[in-house]
Amino acid sequence: MEISAAVLNDVNEDYQLEELTLGEIYPDEVVVKIVATGICHSDEALRVGDAAFPMPSVLGHEGAGIIEKVGASVKDFSAGDQVVMAYNYCGTCPSCRTGHPSSCSQWTALNFAGTRQDGSHTFFKKDGTPVANFFTQSSFATYTITNANNLIKIDPDEDLRLFGPLGCGLLTGFGTVVNGLKPATSSSIAVFGTGAVGLGVLMTAKIEGCSTIIAVDIHDARLETAKDLGATHTINSRTENLEERIAEIRGGQGVDYTVDTTGISAVMKSAVDVLGIGGITAPVAVTPNSIEFNTFTDLVLANRKLIGVLMGDSVPQLAVPKLIQYHKEGKFPFDKLVKFYKFSEINQAAADSNSGKTIKPILIVDENYRKDEPLEYNFQI
Ligand SMILES: NC(=O)c1ccc[n+]([C@@H]2O[C@H](COP(=O)([O-])OP(=O)(O)OC[C@H]3O[C@@H](n4cnc5c(N)ncnc54)[C@H](O)[C@@H]3O)[C@@H](O)[C@H]2O)c1
Ligand SMILES: [Zn+2]
Ligand SMILES: [Zn+2]
């Protein structure tokens, strides 16, 4: 099958729209016609080489679309179903069987290898060159091959164009709070970086009953959005003294929970330093940077904890429908973060995300999907 995809041929290059051939599906796979896809900062991390990945590749892992064809052993999905795609997992290892599929023993092999586990590819250039896939998803394409385990079924009445980012960035923000930090009612939380992941943390902290929600960023416009979404305090760490402001807000007690989404060494360290006694920090960025601290004085002496949380330790098939329900109830108004772009504007969309202009770009891949129904949300910028 001939398809179009935004191919990344090498690190630091722009995406190039190219015609590719889609291979044949395996029995546990499906072909999805992509309707729309978010761009996540993790795509950008691979594009600029912050995390190593085989090239050429088709990135994208916040896709939403319609099933075109199902493999022989796929039971729960059929052609025509609306789906959001999240990550792949094996379904049979101890972590998968105990409800922690992002801790799947095969997670890296299934999502970051660029090939199926047998080494085969799903995309090929015209000259036969294999092209790597990402997250068993590669949503920067008109059609893709994915695994049934990646899929979340979406009600046929819903407008799919908004939902792709629920499969990664927002799932991560949500799960980091409910599965990672598990905040106590009326507790305090500070989130460093108010992109899609940080704002997902913030909206969830509000739902979970945190009473002090501090948003930290270097862009005032993002901090305004954070305020709109429920931040009780905002700090521009470029123009204000972070530690002084937090001491003032917390009366010198430190914060119960912090999440870093920036991946910058000094910021990740601040997220440890501002914790109160017994506080927990979750650094969740995809970053080549490290932090240095003294385990005794910085952690042990105050019973502080540092935790890693991948994909919010969420079960996407349970979390995504819950987030759609929260969105309907007005509790998770993530449409406020979104700006839509044409698929051909992918490089502009990535640049706008990097510059801080757009929080969550969504590319409309199939412009004919519900062509007569306007996109009915409020958009930033
Ligand atoms: N752990 C996971 O499973 C997981 C899943 C998805 C994304 N991620 C990672 O999470 C991170 C955040 O993703 P995103 O899509 O929200 O990215 P983003 O780029 O939209 O957000 C990062 C935010 O950090 C802010 N920032 C930059 N420098 C800062 C500083 N010095 N102080 C305070 N704020 C600063 C930026 O202005 C921006 O608002 C990325 O590294 C992404 O790869 C991790
Ligand atoms: Zn992502
Ligand atoms: Zn598994």
Give the N- to C-terminal CA distance of the chain in Å, as an integer. Answer: 38
Shortest-distance Cα residue to atom 28 of ligand 1:
262
Non-local CB neighbours of 100 within 8 Å, separated by 6+ positions:
313
The ligand with the least distance to the CA atom of 165 is 2
DSSP state of 299: I
Closest atom of ligand 1 to 285 CA is: 41
The hierarchical CATH code for the domain 173-312 is: 3.40.50.720
State the pLDDT at residue 181.
Answer: 98
Atom of ligand 1 nearest to the CA of 169: 6
Q: What is the pLDDT of residue 372?
A: 82
Identify which of 354, 349, 322 has the alpha carbon closest to the alpha carbon of residue 338. Answer: 349
- 144 closest CA partner among 257, 66, 81, 252: 66
DSSP code string of 99-133:
T-GGG-TTHHHHHHSSS-TTS--SEE-TT--EEEE
Least Cα distance to 199 among 132, 148, 261 occurs for 261
- Cα separation, 254 vs 266, whole angstroms: 18
Q: Fill in the amino acid letter for 6.
A: A
CA 42 to centroid of ligand 2, rounded, Å = 5
Point out the ligand nearest to the CA of residue 222: 1
Among protein residues, the one with the nearest Cα to ligand 1's atom 20 is 195
Please give the number of the atom of ligand 1 that sits closest to the Cα of 40: 15
Smallest CA separation from ligand 1 atom 21, residue: 195
What's the gap in Å between 136 CA and the centre of ligand 3?
A: 14
Write down the pLDDT at residue 379. Answer: 45
Q: Nearest CA to 64 among 161, 169, 197? A: 161
Helix axes 220-228, 196-207, angle to 10 degrees: 30
Domain 2-158+333-364, CATH homologous superfamily name and number: Medium-chain alcohol dehydrogenases, catalytic domain (3.90.180.10)
Q: Counting ligands in written order, which one lies closest to the CA of residue 104? A: 3
Nearest CA to ligand 1 atom 6: 169
Mutate to test the pocket of ligand 1, among 43, 172, 261, 362 (most ligand atoms within 8 A of CB): 261
- Cβ neighbours for 277, distance < 8 A, ≥ 6 positions apart: 254, 302, 303, 304
Return the closest-CA partner of residue 275 out of 257, 296, 294, 252. 257
Q: Which two tokens stand for residue 72?
A: 């022989």
**pLDDT per residue as tens, the chain (381 positions):** 999 999 999 999 999 999 999 999 999 999 999 999 999 999 999 999 998 999 999 999 999 999 999 999 999 999 999 999 999 999 999 999 999 999 999 999 999 999 999 999 999 999 999 999 999 999 999 999 999 999 999 999 999 999 999 999 999 999 999 999 999 999 999 999 999 999 999 999 999 999 999 999 999 999 999 999 999 999 999 999 999 999 999 999 999 999 999 999 999 999 999 999 999 999 999 999 999 999 999 999 999 999 999 999 999 999 999 999 999 999 999 999 999 999 999 999 999 999 989 999 999 999 999 988 877 554 443
Q: Are strands 16-22 and 2-8 parallel, antiparallel or unpaired?
A: antiparallel
Place of tokens 């969550």: 360
Residue bearing the CA closest to ligand 1, atom 40:
285
The strand pair at 188-192 and 212-217 is best described as: parallel
What letter represents residue 88's amino acid? N
CB within 6 Å of ligand 1 — which residues?
40-42, 45, 168-169, 172, 192-198, 216-219, 222, 237, 261-264, 267, 284-287, 310-311, 353, 356
- Ligand at minimal distance from the CA of 62 is 2
Helix (H) or strand (E) holding 222: helix 220-228
Cα(93) to ligand 3 centroid in Å equals 4
Global pTM? 0.95
C-alpha separations of 310 from 15, 169, 201, 283 in Å: 26, 11, 14, 10
Q: Which residue CA neighbors atom 27 of ligand 1 most closely?
A: 262
Domain regions of the chain by residue span: 2-158+333-364, 173-312
- Measured in angstroms, how far is the CA atom of residue 111 from the centroid of ligand 3? 12
Ligand 2 centroid, distance to 249 Cα (angstroms): 32
pLDDT at position 377, please?
52
**Ligand 1 atom nearest to CA at 262:** 24
Shortest-distance Cα residue to atom 15 of ligand 1: 41
Could you say which ligand is closest to the alpha carbon of residue 356? 1
CA distance 33 to 59: 15
Q: Give the pLDDT of residue 376.
A: 58
Contacts of 14 (CB under 8 A, 6+ apart): 347
